[in-house]
Amino acid sequence: MKIQRKNEYLEEAVNSKRSIVVLYMAKKKPPKKRTLQDIVYSSRSKEYISAYCNLRNDRRTFKVSRIISIDGHFFLLEKLEMLLKLKHQKHLMVQ
């Protein structure tokens, strides 16, 4: 079984134009389940996606690093890796 990364799931959803169900953690708020449609990468970078959110009935911008799961596939390890890298970078700057 191949383990896919979050960006691979997003690429597939963008290319196939299919909707996805994500668990998204907005800043300082508990995670919420959202169904996203018409997903495209933001013009700013691949760190953001733009999609129609069924929860809000509106098009929204989502930070990819705040997506915890896609279609039931959790990406907590990626989040942990990112946090550890950030902690390591801060530690290096302090020394």
Q: Is the dihedral of CA 79, 83, 61, 31 positive or negative?
A: positive
On the question of pLDDT at 60 being above 80, the answer is yes
Compute the average pLDDT of residues 46-58. 95
The pLDDT value recorded for residue 95 is 47
pTM (global) more than 0.85: no
% the chain with pLDDT above 90: 52
Question: Position 25: which residue type?
Answer: M
- Cβ-based neighbours of 36, under 8 Å, separated by 6 or more: 13, 19, 20, 21, 22, 49, 51, 52, 53, 54, 62
Per the DSSP assignment, residues forming a β-bridge with 44 are none
